[in-house]
A and B are shown apart, each in its own frame.
Chain A
Amino acid sequence: MKSSAPIRSEAEIVAAILAGETQFYHELIRSHERSVYMMALSYMKNEADAEDVAQEALIKAFRNLSTFRGDAKFSTWLISITLNEARNRLRRQGVVRMQSLDEPPDDDGAVSPALLRDWREIPSEAVEREEVRTLIKKAVELLPEIYKQVFLLRDVEEFDVNETAQALSISISNVKVRLHRARMMLQKELAPQLKRINRAPKRRWLPWS
C-alpha cells in the first residue's frame, strides 16, 4: 500500500534471505503484517496476546524459511504458521476449546438476513466516524471463529478463494459457504444499526422551540 513496487519477486527475496542477506526479511513481511495480526486476533481475543502471537509467528517463519515451498504463496504459509501459533498458545494457557460449540458444522441451517425495504448507500467517509468503525469491528468480532477467519481473509485481506482455503486448510466449498454465512450474519447485525445511523438527522433547531 505505502511502499513502492517491489523490485524483486517474493521468491527472489526468500532466496536472498536464505543465501544470507537476512535484512531482507523486514521487506518480505512488510505487506503481511496486518493479515498475520488479524488472524492472531481472531483466536486470542485481546490485542496484547494477538501481538505476541503475531511476533512469535513471524520469528518462527524466519527460522523455518528454508522449509517454505514455492508451491504455496508466502501469505498463506504465514497464516497457517500464525494459526498454529495461536492454537498452541491457547493450549498452553489451558484454554479448552469446545470444537462443537465454537465451530458449528458447515451443514448448519441458512442465515436469514435483516429485511429492509430500501437501502440508502452509506458512503465510505462514514468510517471516519469512530462510532461507525466500532459498530463494524464489534459485529465482526462477534462472528463465530470459523466464519470470522474466512471473512477477514476474503473480504478484508482480499485473499482469493484458493488462498483462503489453503491458509485455513479447508475446502473451497467450505470457504464459499462460510463466507456467505459470515456476510449474511454481518448484514443481519449491521444493516439495521447502520441504517439508523445513516438516518439520524443532524440536530436541528425547531423554529417554535
Chain B
Amino acid sequence: MVIECKHVWNYISEYLDGTLPEETRNTVQRHLEHCEICSAILDSTRNIIILTADDHVFELPVGFSERLHARIDLELMAT
C-alpha cells in the first residue's frame, strides 16, 4: 500500500513510540525510505523530543527543594 505524506504525518508520534500495528508501520517505513520531507519531519520531531527531555531544560527554581522540605518539617512537627 502507498500512502500520502499527509497520512504519514498522522502516524509520526506512534511510529516514534513503536506502537503502530506492524502493517501500518511497514507502510510508513516504505514511505520514509523515499520521502526526504517526511524523513526530515520524523528526525526533527525525534530530535526535539530528546532535547526537551534533557534534564537541563526544565529545572526546579533555585531553592525549591530546601523551601519545600522546610515546610514539610513544620507540618511533621505539628502532627
Question: Which A positions have Cβ atoms within 8 angstroms of B?
Answer: 1, 22-23, 25-26, 29, 33-34, 37-38, 47, 51, 54-55, 58-59, 62-63, 110, 112-119, 121-122, 124, 126-128, 132-133, 136-137, 140, 152, 155-156, 158, 176, 179-180, 183-184, 186-187, 190-191, 194-195
CB A97 to nearest CB in B, in angstroms, measures 24
A25 close to B76 (CB less than 8 A):
yes
Q: How far is the CA of A128 from the CA of B51 in the complex (A)?
A: 10
Q: Which residues of B contact A26 (CB under 8 A)?
A: 69, 72
Q: Is the CB of B58 within 8 A of A156?
A: yes
* Contact present for B41 and A156 (CB under 8 Å): no
As a 0/1 sequence over residues 6 to 18 of chain B, the CB contacts with chain A under 8 angstroms (1 = contact) are 1001101110100
Best-buried of B19, B47, B75, B79 by chain A (most CB within 10 Å): B47
**Contact partner of A184 among B9, B67, B68, B76, CB < 8 A?**
B9
Query: With A59-B75, A137-B58, A190-B48 in contact, do A37 and B64 touch (Cβ < 8 Å)?
Result: yes
**B43 cross-chain contacts in A, Cβ below 8 A:** 119, 121
Closest 7 CB pairs of A and B: A180-B13, A116-B40, A119-B43, A191-B44, A119-B40, A187-B45, A119-B44
> A133-B57, A191-B48 in contact; A116/B37 too (CB < 8 A)?
yes
Interface of B is mostly: helix
Select which of B13, B51, B76, B79 is within 8 A of A124 by beta carbon.
B51
**How far, in whole Å, are A33 and B59 apart by their CA atoms in the complex?**
11
Q: Which residues of B contact A (CB under 8 A)?
A: 6, 9-10, 12-14, 16, 19, 36-37, 39-41, 43-45, 47-58, 60-61, 64-65, 67-69, 71-72, 75-76, 79
Q: Are A23 and B52 in contact (CB under 8 A)?
A: no
- Please, which residue of chain B has its CB at the minimum distance from the CB of A41? B58
Residues of B near A25 (CB, < 8 A) are 72, 76
Interface pair B53/A116, CB less than 8 Å apart: no
